[in-house]
Amino acid sequence: MLGVGDVPEFDVAEAFATRQPLSPKTSELSLVNEVILQGMRLSKSAGIPLSEILAAGYDLILMAEYYKDVTNTGWGYCPEHSPHLFYPYTNTCPRCIFHGEFHFTPGNKPGSGRIGERTRRLLCVYLQQIFLHLSKPLDVYLGSEPVDVMIHDPQKNCLLLAEVKASPLCTLPLATPTSRLTGKIDEEVMELPHQEIPNTSLSNENIFVLLPRMGDSSSWTIDLIDLGKMESDDSWAYDAFDRLLKGNVHFLKWFVDFWRSAFDAYSIRDTMNSVFWLTNGCGQPSPRPAHWPRRAGSGYESVSDGKTSVGMDRTDDIKKGIYQVLKLGVEGKLNTHEFDVKTALLSNVHAARHYEEYLASLQDIVWTWDPSGTVKKAGDFESDKSIYNLFDGILSFTRNVTRDEWIADNFNFK
DNA sequence: CAGGCATCATTCCAACTGAC
DNA sequence: GTCAGTTGGAATGATGCCTG
């Protein structure tokens, strides 16, 4: 007999048996735990919701991860007052946008094949430590297709199958001071304009992270915060942020303040807020300056492509995610007796731009299985027929939608 | 009518899988 | 073990719709 239970592709018990441990590194755990501990303190002292601090903290951890890939190339020379080399993650000089100028400088995102695996694993490492700090008895594991992540409650034997769509809001640029550069233009000695230049002082000079801070006159000022020297060990930035958090009691508050403003700007596309141009998915520069380069094909370069969106906010990803959750539910819930199976979309931040249009109308969908193909109303089933949630949760730090008590209990980061 | 956006199509990269 | 084929994620490219 053919039924959903016979589908050979996906078996929850087998998926759980072949789960992958997170294997976090010492330097990752050290930074993650410092972020969580200080975040919990900051939430109490400053009255900021812990969930928002955790969302910002995720970006900080991803910054340390992305900084593993820093090399001598990819730096942009900025000649303004005190000349610096900047290492940006959106395609514009990260200092000049604060006086309204766009200078095209290619960003340094990780390669396309690397982003997903790194954001997924680090979200899991982070969540695992958060559960420990909040005394939730949950174990987080990596899965393989079709399940991204499994979260197991050994006491209640619940198993959450999650489709993960995670990506950072913003990766702050790095900076090093440099001497003023000159060159000959039309046989005349001139100061050089913005351009890409190899950074030859990486091994012997300190590296700084560019952190915008809101001043008293509600305008941004730029802090260049010392991260020390870049070590050959690729965990150098994890260690540097760990030291920074422990040595500067203000840093986390400064970073969270910046992040919340950037997230607001991202959500409503506030192009007037300068930090908008540091966020992923900020799109075309506006107004576009005369010197802004064209793309190879047609149109112009963007500061950050609109499709490089934040968290689960890319429309294609939302649609893919909905399919995966439906598949996990149908193939995972119907004939699994070993676990109480739950399904969820999981991200660092909710779909700030697209939630209402793409997810709001689906969040309360329930379904069941009708192989007869004739059922018209609930009463056509036997009275104890099980009904399942499409989403037991749509989960993130910035907004949670839950239809399940176990999920609501465990994913409450308020 | 141009610009911004969502969608559809293609390309690239890296990881995985199965045959040998 | 290696190697070819497959797969998934993300970037990039093209197109068409809507709006100011």
Summarised one tens digit per residue, pLDDT across range A303-359 is 877 767 777 777 777 777 777 788 778 877 877 778 888 988 888 888 777 777 777
| Alpha helix (H) residue ranges in A113-196 | 115-133
Q: What value does the CA radius of gyration of chain A take, rounded to a whole number of Å?
A: 24
pLDDT at A296 over 70: no
A80-125 pLDDT per residue, tens: 889 999 988 888 888 988 888 888 887 877 766 667 777 888 888 8
Q: Quick check: is A214 in a domain?
A: no
Q: Quick check: is A287 in a domain?
A: no
A123-176 pLDDT per residue, tens: 888 998 999 999 999 988 877 777 788 888 999 989 888 888 888 888 899 999
Query: Nearest to residue A65, comparing CAs of A119, A113, A142?
Result: A119
Residue A264 tokens read as 């607001």
Q: Quick check: is A231 in a domain?
A: no
The pTM of the full predicted model, rounded to 2 decimals, is 0.87
8 A C-beta contact, residue A190 and residue A184: yes
The whole-number Å distance from A296's CA to C14's C1' is 13
A137 preceded by cis ω (within 30°)? Answer: no
Its domain, for residue A126, covers 1-69+112-170+241-268+305-414
Does residue A399 lie within 7 Å of nucleic acid chain C, judged by its CB?
A: no
Closest protein residue to B15 (Cα–C1'): A113
Q: Which residue has the tokens 């001497």?
A: A179
How many independent structural domains does chain A possess?
1
Residue A334 tokens read as 């119907």
Can you give the pLDDT at residue A2? Answer: 34
- Residue numbers in A 320-349, CB below 7 Å of strand C: 320
- Residue numbers in A 74-103, CB below 7 Å of strand B: none
Q: Quick check: is A75 in a domain?
A: no
Nucleotide nearest to A18 (CA to C1'): B16
Residue A39 host element (H or E): helix A26-46
Q: Quick check: is A105 in a domain?
A: no
Q: Quick check: is A11 in a domain?
A: yes
A348-397 pLDDT per residue, tens: 888 777 777 777 777 888 888 888 888 888 888 888 888 888 888 888 89
The whole-number Å distance from A117's CA to C7's C1' is 15
DSSP state of A395: E
A263-289 pLDDT per residue, tens: 888 887 777 788 888 888 887 777 777
- Give, in degrees to the nearest 5, the angle at Cα A185 between A85 and A182: 35
The whole-number Å distance from A269's CA to C19's C1' is 17
Q: Quick check: is A353 in a domain?
A: yes
